[in-house]
Structure 1
Amino acid sequence: STTQPTQLNLTQCSASPPPVRLSGQIRLAEGFSLRDIGLKQERIEVNGYAMQCRVTTEDVSKGFQPDSGRLEVFRPGQGIGIRLDSASAYAGAIISPYYDSLLCKVIAHTKDFRDCAAKMERALREFRVRGVKTNIPFLLNVLRSEKFLSGTTDTSFIDQHPELFKLQAHKNRAQRLIHFIAAEPPKGWRQILVDQGPEAFARAIKEHPSVLLTDTTMRDAHQSLLATRVRTYDLLKIAPYAARNLSGLLSLECWGGATFDVAMRFLHECPWERLEELRQQVPNIPFQMLLRGASAVGYTNYPDNVVYKFCDQAVKSGMDIFRVFDSLNYVPNMEVGMDAVRKAGGVVEAAVCYTGDVLNSKKYNMDYYLKTADQLVESGTHILAVKDMAGLLKPAGARALIGALKKAFPDHPLHVHTHDTAGAGVATLLACADAGADIIDCAVDSMSGITSQPSMGALVSCLQQDCGVKLSDVTPYSAYWEVARRLYANFECTSTMRSGNADVYENEIPGGQYTNLQFQSISLGLSNQFELVKKKFAEANELMGDIIKVTPSSKIVGDLAQFMVANNLSKQDVIDKASELSFPTSVVEFFDGLIGQPVGGFPEQLSRGVLQGRQPRFSGRPGAELPPLDFDALRASLQEKFGDQEISDKDVISAALYPRVFDDFAAIRQKYGPVSKLQTRVFFQGPKIAEELELHLERGKTIYIKPLAVAEPDKTGKSECFFELNGQQRVVYITDKEASKNVTIRPKAKATVKGSIGAPMPGEILDVKVQSDDVVEKGQPLMVVSAMKMELVVTAPIAGRIKTIHVGAGDKVEGNDLLIDME
């Protein structure tokens, strides 16, 4: 055999007579001759070739200098006629600089020398070694050399053939793509916040030479267009793209507002898990949320310690910027949220809610907005915002308002939020940018317009400055959402609103409330009267004193509007019959001062009627008079209800904000598990028979489910369902709600009999507060009825005795179903 310095060995093989066995080799080593062990040279014939290549971790371009590091990939070439001698070569192995650089010996064997070289070349080409350099490119050059293949090489072969060192670089496409996918996305604005803190973050925005963008697609856009129904599953699928390609965004609005309770109420998801999972996928872009001041993410005021606890946990879970507002622009309420955010380490963005027309309104004029903004600046906001929740800000008003705010508060970044309900949103935001706004809100094209925010693509194209986002990156982002949006067709606002509608300048319905109000109306049986609901919304606003309208105040106006439509009440009827009507709970709480004090105070006549002549419960900030919540007691209560579930701090906060909603969510979680892992179509519509579902429960745990058949329901309404789980058959029994449902037809209340009390709207009886034969006063609460997010307290229209109670807690009722007879 001959051995070259190339680490390639060539051996001529013999097979006749039989090759020398180990004992013969030992005897030869001891000094015996071939003849002594029965072999003669002339009888040995060459009938095959074996070739060995030693694959080493050497950098050929540096004089075969040993290379060291971690083997990211090791896949050897194999096949018939190939043998591998290897020890420590495997993916993840550490190649030490202090040991032999040999990775693997590759041996090829064939009858013909050139075939042997070809087989060896094929095996070496199939090797995949990543993480360290090897001599494989050099070995391949040797095997392709005609001089080598001719069998006439000697020890000067390498010196005489410098072309052997012209190494062909590996394409390494797959591994490079994996590195790109695994690498951290580009650094964004969050890096400044993490490294330098909120104050420096605000200064950096102020010093930035051009306007920046906030993307609302993951929160306000779908709240406005799709009734807040977009699931975490679909957000997570596009999140990595946003992190890599939209890193120039100032922020992603992805949490808060109605998304918190809707996640639990309708999607059966934990809102905290959504935030934390998104944070893992998007580490570089600041997250932004909507915080309702002293109401946190609820619809009423809470004890102060609940707000502080919520903000602290939100920051820990990944939230960065808190847009703090109050539904009445009541600054004392905002100050609680602002202080809670500051103490939690978040960025405070205090927002002045905009309504009316700044150029024409007597109540909400320029002086009002400047004074309100001044209070927020004095209270220590990092960023000042204008929150135009209904899209009422017009281009001329925008130039005047933004210009005045920039002049009055030059040291604070200014962020503008609007909706495109009337179709003028892009023009308004361009006017804001011209007037000096530092940040403007937008939504990706396929999720923009109508009640959502103005188009991101349109703004990127029209702004004559670098806003940190390229149109070429917006287009694929929009394409994803265009397809994803189809999954939520049942919740589309376009079912009643096909295009922009300028009547918003009259009814002033916030964009984020529009679809929720629409579906609430449907649940109340008012789907064919939605145009009337919108007109009544404007009347309800006037009745309540022309208030700022944004959650929860806008919900209160909406509740009153639907109440008026459901009971066929005019504006004057509400005033005249106020003391006799069972107003929605939210309306009563508003006049009780439970969400704060409106600009100009409460309308006296209606307030007196709604409150039955008594004084409001609160005359200042409600949270200041509420006792702190006992979180330990709440945790103990939850643990008792859901003993087999681990109750986390986040669960306790969710229960503090939404007690009944969390209980229902926890019960569903306990019964059905993590339904958020299901594909959206399957979640809303159910799977198809024989469709295989791939569910990623957690890292490293994937299951496969295939529905096989569903039997007909039996007499009790139970159906047998057959599934295949990871190839094994499973059977479950479910109750067919339609088959087992008992239809109850209730008598109706008599309109001419005052003691005949009917349901004020379709819904569910939550609570019965009286018993038969009880003596009650006029206006005393009798029952609580709930539909969607609206609750109504049914009160006694007269003083008297409870004769008969026709329903109980949990019963479903239709409008005007007889609830109680009094005498």
Structure 2
Amino acid sequence: ELKKAMPKTPLQMLLRGQNLLGYRHYADDVVERFVERAVKNGMDVFRVFDAMNDPRNMKAALSAVRSHGAHAQGTLSYTTSPAHTLQTWLDLTEQLLETGVDSIAIKDMSGILTPMAAYELVSEIKKRFEVRLHLHCHATTGMAEMALLKAIEAGVDGVDTAISSMSATYGHPATEALVATLAGTEHDTGLDILKLENIAAYFREVRKKYHAFEGQLKGYDSRILVAQVPGGMLTNLESQLKQQNAADKLDQVLAEIPRVREDLGFIPLVTPTSQIVGTQAVLNVLTGERYKTIAKETAGILKGEYGHTPVPVNAALQARVLEGGAPVTCRPADLLKPELAELEADVRRQAQEKGITLAGNAIDDVLTVALFPQIGLKFLENRHNPAAFEPLPQAEAAQPVAKAEKPAASGIYTVEVEGKAFVVKVSDGGDISQLTTAVPAASSAPVQAAAPAGAGTPVTAPLAGNIWKVIATEGQTVAEGDVLLILEAMKMETEIRAAQAGTVRGIAVKSGDAVSVGDTLMTLA
């Protein structure tokens, strides 16, 4: 639909290499088919990156993009650490060019690229290689505008900006500001400020509809210079901690993130590694013990399942998750068998069982479910049922000046009472007309009952989330460290393990149940 509305405008997407849009590696046949369908549906430019900066993980996607006639842009996911030097980026640029790309992007997702570092990096790449170079900076730390200007002086070919009404904070520098800065210089863009203002005015109204979903950042955040948290990750952390009733723990989590990142080999913080590191930091803080619980994805990085890390990971943690096994040293996707046929058969089976009508191009639905198993299937079930989705956001109505005699302002509020969140609708007169318990939008029905009282040690939820899978069975004897169930929280799968040996009693949850922090999931007798 976007391509129909903008047939002459090149559309660009961000592609996570072998991860595509998901959080795991997919087999090469899935990568190939996804790119084919994306191009067919109107995508022109693919900015392909890998969270580990491992070029092996970008090769299949880049090759697929070029084979289907689209523009393949290789990406340097910029970060700083004792393991990253100028030579690191020059070597990666050379490797991407050898793989085959049409251009290179420097992706500064955290806004930590200093102006002088930008000048040096762009200058050296342009000096050594004949390649079109783009720069992508987030405005979170306040350095992005200066970094873009210095990169332009150094010869960068393109920079990413956002229209002013949708710019700054977690986003990008304002387009109009840069256009005005460059006006009358050798880098004059030729763009019309008045026409840009018309665009800004339009999106100014659009943004009002979504104000409730914006993060807390109002200006710049210097903590990012230490934590290196990308803008999207910061808003995600804020949201996650609110769901855990732990919004006051943000500073502790931001302090823990660099420590987790070091344990994982100084990996860049970009999707999905930003979510993995962030979630593990949250787990470390909320459980009160570092690595008491290790997320499945964290274990994957330690095992080498995501590719090379810049430096070796924490040896003790790696040994703990390997449990005597060997780490992955080859390209991780080389270990994957073709999976598209099996995925397609599975989606068609589920569609038949649930009475779902697949799209004319059924492969698009297959890929949707492959990348987003639970959410994708739910979407297919309800895509023709508007009532299944949240109401369309409405533009903020102009609020009249409140009269002194009114005891309360009308509106919908989230109120926390003794650790429980409630959504309250207040009328103009101050009367409460609706009161519901606030739960995450994606949650299923909440757990109806806790485990029955009795002898034994309760196994409780360390995080709020949804039960992904119950592995233990009633009456089963388990050893310390055995996986009892898997909790999906903060977009990650967290294994809940037995803290002691015992017999499973009183399983109180099933797959899909929503749980809160501290809920009893089962008991070990």
Does TM, scored on the shorter chain, surpass 0.5?
A: yes
Residue 423 of structure 2 corresponds to which residue in structure 1?
A: none
Residue 335 of structure 1 corresponds to which residue in structure 2?
A: 59
- Pair 1:413-2:413 in alignment: no
* Structure 2: 5+ residue stretches without partners: 398-434, 439-444
Deviation per CA, 1:583-626, whole angstroms, max 9, x where unpaired? 222212222323222112322112222x1633256332221111
1:34-73 matched pairs, under 5 angstroms: none
Residue 194 of structure 2 corresponds to which residue in structure 1?
A: 472
Query: CA 1:612/1:312 → structure 2, altered by over 3 Å: closer, same or farther?
Result: closer
CA RMSD of aligned residues (A): 2.7
Amino acid at match of 1:348: A
Any conservation in 1 of the 2:18–2:31 contact (CA below 8 Å)?
Answer: yes
Q: Secondary structure at the match of 1:805?
A: coil
Residue 293 of structure 2 corresponds to which residue in structure 1?
A: 582
Deviation at 1:429, TM superposition (A): 0.1
Deviation per CA, 1:122-149, whole angstroms, max 9, x where unpaired? xxxxxxxxxxxxxxxxxxxxxxxxxxxx
- Pair 1:513-2:237 in alignment: no
1:408-487 matched pairs, under 5 angstroms: 408-409=128-129, 411-463=130-182, 464=185, 465-487=187-209
Give the whole-Å Cα distance in 2 for the aligned partners of 1:278 and 1:386. 26
Q: Secondary structure at the match of 1:536?
A: helix
Residue 296 of structure 1 corresponds to which residue in structure 2?
A: 20
- Pair 1:681-2:399 in alignment: no
Residue 602 of structure 1 corresponds to which residue in structure 2?
A: 313
Aligned with 2:94 (options 365, 374, 389)? 374
Any conservation in 2 of the 1:389–1:418 contact (CA below 8 Å)?
Answer: yes
Any conservation in 1 of the 2:451–2:522 contact (CA below 8 Å)?
Answer: no
Any conservation in 2 of the 1:763–1:785 contact (CA below 8 Å)?
Answer: yes
Query: CA 1:636/1:447 → structure 2, altered by over 3 Å: closer, same or farther?
Result: same
Deviation at 1:352, TM superposition (A): 0.8
The percent identity for this pair of structures is 31
Amino acid at match of 1:658: F
Deviation at 1:784, TM superposition (A): 1.1
* Structure 1: 5+ residue stretches without partners: 1-276, 686-735
Query: CA 1:288/1:616 → structure 2, altered by over 3 Å: closer, same or farther?
Result: farther
Query: CA 1:749/1:551 → structure 2, altered by over 3 Å: closer, same or farther?
Result: farther
- Pair 1:669-2:379 in alignment: no
Give the whole-Å Cα distance in 2 for the aligned partners of 1:453 and 1:649. 34
Give the whole-Å Cα distance in 1 for the aligned partners of 2:34 and 2:517. 38
Give the whole-Å Cα distance in 2 for the aligned partners of 1:590 and 1:526. 26
Deviation per CA, 1:627-676, whole angstroms, max 9, x where unpaired? 11115413422431343513422111111111111111112225448979
- Pair 1:658-2:380 in alignment: no
Deviation per CA, 1:45-85, whole angstroms, max 9, x where unpaired? xxxxxxxxxxxxxxxxxxxxxxxxxxxxxxxxxxxxxxxxx
Residue 405 of structure 2 corresponds to which residue in structure 1?
A: none
Query: CA 1:426/1:589 → structure 2, altered by over 3 Å: closer, same or farther?
Result: same
Give the whole-Å Cα distance in 2 for the aligned partners of 1:628 and 1:771. 33
1:745-784 matched pairs, under 5 angstroms: 746=450, 755-784=457-486
- Pair 1:643-2:355 in alignment: yes
Q: Secondary structure at the match of 1:352?
A: strand
Number of aligned positions between the proteins: 475
Give the whole-Å Cα distance in 2 for the aligned partners of 1:393 and 1:788. 28
Give the whole-Å Cα distance in 2 for the aligned partners of 1:771 and 1:396. 59
Any conservation in 2 of the 1:315–1:344 contact (CA below 8 Å)?
Answer: yes
Any conservation in 1 of the 2:148–2:159 contact (CA below 8 Å)?
Answer: yes
Give the whole-Å Cα distance in 1 for the aligned partners of 2:127 and 2:452. 62
Amino acid at match of 1:593: G
Amino acid at match of 1:633: A
Residue 615 of structure 1 corresponds to which residue in structure 2?
A: 325
Amino acid at match of 2:332: P
Residue 354 of structure 1 corresponds to which residue in structure 2?
A: 78
Any conservation in 2 of the 1:303–1:626 contact (CA below 8 Å)?
Answer: yes
Deviation per CA, 1:683-715, whole angstroms, max 9, x where unpaired? x99xxxxxxxxxxxxxxxxxxxxxxxxxxxxxx
Query: CA 1:506/1:449 → structure 2, altered by over 3 Å: closer, same or farther?
Result: same
Residue 413 of structure 2 corresponds to which residue in structure 1?
A: none
Amino acid at match of 1:597: H
Q: Secondary structure at the match of 2:210?
A: helix
Query: CA 1:673/1:320 → structure 2, altered by over 3 Å: closer, same or farther?
Result: farther
Residue 71 of structure 1 corresponds to which residue in structure 2?
A: none
Amino acid at match of 1:505: L
Residue 731 of structure 1 corresponds to which residue in structure 2?
A: none
Q: Secondary structure at the match of 1:398?
A: helix
Deviation per CA, 1:349-382, whole angstroms, max 9, x where unpaired? 00111101xxxx5411011111111100111111
Amino acid at match of 1:637: R
Residue 626 of structure 1 corresponds to which residue in structure 2?
A: 336
Q: Secondary structure at the match of 1:681?
A: coil
Any conservation in 2 of the 1:754–1:797 contact (CA below 8 Å)?
Answer: no
Structure with higher RCO (Cα < 8 A, 6+ apart): 2
1:115-130 matched pairs, under 5 angstroms: none
Aligned with 1:549 (options 249, 253, 269)? 269
Any conservation in 1 of the 2:108–2:136 contact (CA below 8 Å)?
Answer: yes
Residue 157 of structure 1 corresponds to which residue in structure 2?
A: none
Deviation per CA, 1:255-306, whole angstroms, max 9, x where unpaired? xxxxxxxxxxxxxxxxxxxxxx111111112111100000011111111111
Residue 287 of structure 1 corresponds to which residue in structure 2?
A: 11
Deviation per CA, 1:488-543, whole angstroms, max 9, x where unpaired? 111111xx211111221100001232212221221122223222222222222223
Deviation at 1:553, TM superposition (A): 0.7
- Pair 1:798-2:500 in alignment: yes
Query: CA 1:780/1:738 → structure 2, altered by over 3 Å: closer, same or farther?
Result: closer
Deviation at 1:802, TM superposition (A): 2.1
Deviation per CA, 1:398-418, whole angstroms, max 9, x where unpaired? 111110000111x21001111
1:521-536 matched pairs, under 5 angstroms: 521-536=241-256
Query: CA 1:616/1:553 → structure 2, altered by over 3 Å: closer, same or farther?
Result: farther
Deviation at 1:566, TM superposition (A): 1.4
Deviation at 1:743, TM superposition (A): 8.3
Query: CA 1:612/1:362 → structure 2, altered by over 3 Å: closer, same or farther?
Result: closer
Q: Secondary structure at the match of 1:533?
A: helix
